[in-house]
A and B are shown apart, each in its own frame.
Chain A
Amino acid sequence: MPPVLELKGITKRFPGVLANDHIDLTLNEGEILALLGENGAGKSTLMNILYGLYQPDEGEVFIRGEKITIHSPIDAIRAGIGMVHQHFMLIPVFTVTENIMLGAESVRMGDFLDRPAAAARIREISSRYGLEVDPNAYVRDLPVGVQQRVEIIKLLYREANILIFDEPTAVLTPQEADELFVIMRELARQGKSIIFITHKLREVLDVADRIMVIRRGAVVGETVPAQADRQTLAAMMVGREVRLEVEKRIARAGDVVLEVHDLVVTDAQKQITVDGVSFDVRAGEILGVAGVQGNGQTELVEAVTGLRQPVSGSIRLLGQDVTRATPREIIELGTAHVPEDRQRDGLVLSFPVAENIVLCTYYKPPFARGVQLQREIIYETANRLIADFDIRTPSASTTVGSLSGGNQQKVIIAREFSRPIHLLVASQPTRGLDVGSIEYIHQRIVQKRDEGCAVLLVSPELDEVMELSDRIAVMYRGKIVAIVPAESATKSYIGLLMAGVSPEQAGAPQEGERIVESTF
């Protein structure tokens, strides 16, 4: 019998990049195939081609031995291909039923929606595959894990047989991820074929039947979990030996730099999202904040950096009360901030590199004399930092928007780290970057710590938090449920705390269970 899916010689070029280079791939019925590769390796491009969102420059697609061409998602859906996207394709203001039926609506009397009929089918699918969900709930009210279930039901509703999961665990707690793996195995058992895209080694070894590794747009190897381990996979993926752990000395914590007491913050909708949080960060230590996204970390960081006014509580920086201070006052006290969304908050994409480098200091000597900008000095400084921080850019006058993600992040790092600082607030500093950049940024953060800077690190990537932090604070629904010394924290323990299990129930972490994972 021919395989369910076969890709032959798929090639896709983007201006300046060969995203996919003659990729061959086969997928058998009831199989879970892991597609492993680091950010930017070309996995998502390949899957978007398969789903009809991109057109390949060369290559053929066969479904059960039959050659097909996929011009649009409609063709893909018709061929039984479904995709759970990394960023969910859900409409928050629609109900679960509306989201699922969209594009394949049940109608009566011409064009009127038949919501009950669709809901009934959703319930049927739910019970068959163990995907519990309320069809009448609005998607905006659902937790991420349930939203993902909605995405999966969307595929099953369209009777897809080939399911693509694009980085599905990025937004889940370890426990939620485990639940997802159970669901995936159940789907495979019932005859669905699954392609699982990821850059996380543990997941691949846990759930896949077969592993394909992609690097720089080309397949570099294929194996099965029984014959692979993390070290070899990592080397295949990156193309060289990688250090899975960041080298760092034991922290020598000094004086308290940041002191947060009983802080309450609301979000744009005036809902309380940080609910009575207290902690401090000392000079020379990294406090990592772990938690599933949307548990108040964003608002906490915004409050600490002055971007959001707290409702109550206090923030002290170097002994000074900064609860109501403006962002500029806090910056001038020696705070650096690496924001979670670099393109939205950290950079002005249409400005040249040089202007982005002085974004926080342009108004001070030597960059300005009175109100006059000193263009010469700004460009000299920029050129120096471009060299120091190894920013790959044609020149200091190139717009930042045309740089790669990693280099954009380096522009921010250069700007924030080149000032004399006492506190570094880093929010998801390695989001979406390739291994080289991740290593680089991690080293820089640890280096800052060793220089005596207090570091507040916020990341939904539990691995990253565990790897870098000296102490770990876990946030759940706006509260810090526990602060654990890094050396006694285990992944499962932190994962339980992140999922809302109280520290007592989660049980004290056991010695020897600590596993440090690489971030990718």
Chain B
Amino acid sequence: MATIVVHRKWEAVSPTRQRVMGLVELGSALIMLLVFTLKVQPGQMATFVMTPGGLTQGIAGNWVVPAFSTLMALTVVNFLLGMVQLVRGFGRWTNAVLGVVVAFFVFSFLTWATAGKSLNLLGMLSAAVLLAVPIILGAFSGVLCERAGVVNIAIEGMMLMAAMVGALVGSVTKNMWMGLLAAVASSVLLAWVHAVLSIKYKINQIISGTVINIFSTGMTSYLSSKFLQTYQELNNPPIFPRVPIPLLADIPILGPLFFNTNLFVYLVFLLLIILQVALFTTRWGLRLRSVGEHPKAADTLGINVFATRYMAVLLGGVVAGIGGAFFTLGSVGRFDEMMTAGKGFIGLAAMIFGNWTPLGAFFAGLLFGFTDSVATKLTILGTGIPIQFMAMAPYITTMVVLAGLVGRGQMPAADGTPYEKE
């Protein structure tokens, strides 16, 4: 039943959250002071290499900073931000400020670890972008489905299947495009199963997703041990090469990161723009969102709820398929069992963190990619932290995000609810 709502602020930050965030931010400053700043020798320099290895375009000079003063400065800034957050809060900028604090924290971690040594920062960042690709695509897939009201935890399984089919077909045809196409087709097929089970048969969407994940794991392992491991030539697909974009690739720092890279990164950008624009400024987007918010209202206005949801889930399958293909055709060039390693679920967390918008999901995905890449790189620097603990970073970040420390947005009102036409 409708209720009167008078001037309600929906983006409001609760006092508790404001205080908790302030304390967390102050805590970060404290750790930075005690663990990083006071542990570096005065006069030590940290050298950051600003060109990824092996590139000849977009070269930038190394960045050498005095470790102690940099750390001190970052600590002070974080301390100040934390104080302001604690005392009066940043309102709608709270999440952005938290992002800055986290970025500074990570940077001081890097500075501390690099003090007296050298680190290829840009190499790390460009690795982060690549690691973020499947997460972002998973998140986009989630945005498409959930904006239409279908929870899709099968993204993981869809990506895994796409990764394997991409490798297999790519190897057989010796053509990466055929591989990509087949990968997308396999993912769409699974998306169709999810759609039929959850939209037509109205079975619990979480269960439907789990079924698909189990099926995918079983199927890929089965085919992999039956064929891919026996006949190595079936698991050796060509991979999409690095494609520099003329002129843009020559820009220092940005060029190597975004304009001299893999086709999949360009696809991510393309999809980001298309989805963001289409969801919020077109008739297609309005109808899709209406189905996820209030399917009955949409139905009474003559919008076909079922068809719209099918379309959204199938498109989600396309996007997840591209994300899955990236594992084999975009980076490794080989399929391994369970190689998606939870990226699909992390993508869902990125979607939630990004408030169910493509733009938000994009940045959240980059953040996850970044934690992953920091973790991998730091083991090389030899910080004494075991590699397995570093590898936990994205999972723990995901849980922190879900815990709502970083604030949760407004999820589509009818998300996860099957539509009953009575």
Contacts and interface: CB of A to CB of B under 8 A. Distances in A.
A485 interface: no
B301 A73 contact: yes
B290 A94 contact: yes
Contacts of B286: 94, 98, 101-102, 105, 113
Nearest to A101: B286
B8 A271 contact: yes
Contacts of A93: 293, 410, 413
A53 B293 contact: no
A77 B421 CA distance: 18
A144 B4 contact: yes
Main secondary structure of the interface of A (DSSP, over half): loop
Interface in B1-53: 1-10, 12, 14-15
A102 B287 contact: yes
A90 interface: yes
Given A85-B300, A91-B293, A113 B281 contact: yes
Contacts of A83: 300
Given A88-B2, A141-B5, A269 B10 contact: yes
Contacts of B290: 91, 94, 102
B219 interface: no
B298 A103 contact: yes
- Interface size class of chain B, counting residues whose CB lies under 8 Å from the partner chain: 35 or more
Contacts of B6: 141, 143, 477
Contacts of A98: 286
B408 to A, nearest CB: 12
A54 B421 CA distance: 9
B300 A51 contact: yes
Contact of B413 (A51, A92, A111): A92
A78 B11 CA distance: 39
B315 to A, nearest CB: 15
Contacts, number: 112
B232 interface: no
Contacts of A154: 301
Contacts of A101: 286
A89 interface: yes
A171 interface: yes
A73 B299 contact: yes
Interface in A102-160: 102-105, 107, 111-113, 140-144, 147, 154
A269 B12 contact: yes
A270 B294 contact: no
Interface in A37-76: 48, 51, 53-54, 72-74
Given A91-B294, A93-B293, A112-B281, A102 B8 contact: no
B73 interface: no
A141 B7 contact: yes
B303 interface: yes
Contacts of B410: 93
Nearest to A103: B301
A101 B285 CA distance: 13
A73 B300 contact: yes
Given A51-B300, A73-B302, 8 more contacts: A83-B300, A91-B297, A92-B413, A98-B286, A143-B6, A271-B8, A271-B9, A293-B4
20 contacts: A53-B299, A53-B300, A53-B422, A54-B422, A98-B286, A102-B297, A103-B298, A103-B302, A113-B286, A140-B5, A140-B10, A141-B5, A141-B7, A141-B8, A144-B2, A269-B9, A269-B12, A271-B12, A292-B4, A293-B1
